[in-house]
Amino acid sequence: MSSPEIASLSWGQMKVKGCSTTYKDCKVWPGGSRTWDWRETGTNHSPGVQPADLEEVVQKGVKTLVIGCGMSEALQVPPSTVEYLKKNGIDVVILQTEKAVAEYNALAAGGAKVGGVFHSTC
């Protein structure tokens, strides 16, 4: 299974190729995607992305995980989250969301087992 392309991104809206849903924040992995609902894990801009936010994507067998930390990079990624990924043998790329989507799409197009979590506002 390949990782789906992020078809479009604008403030507060993301579309994944092959999916009819418009996401605000989303998770993607080889073969699927879904909304990233911060309320599930109590995530806020600070301290930011928690291992619990990434667990579902990690379990899909990704080798690289791209984190889009917002259009203005307001979403933080604490060192403990990076350590969690590295312990699981996963490379992590943390970028401003537009750059993160471009990097994710390039990796996906190259056939990488890549996943992502993307914040499409602030």
Q: What pLDDT, on a 0 to 100 scale, did the predictor assign at position 51?
A: 97
Going from N- to C-terminal start, the domains of the chain cover: 6-118
Question: So what CATH class is 6-118?
Answer: alpha beta
54 with 65: CB under 8 angstroms?
yes
Of 26, 3, 2, which is closest to residue 14 (Cα–Cα)?
26
Q: Dump pLDDT digits (tens) for 31-82.
A: 999 999 999 999 999 999 999 999 999 999 999 999 999 999 999 999 999 9
What's this model's pTM, rounded to 2 decimal places? Answer: 0.97
Q: Is the pLDDT of residue 112 over 90?
A: yes
pLDDT level of residue 4 (50, 70, 90 thresholds)? very high
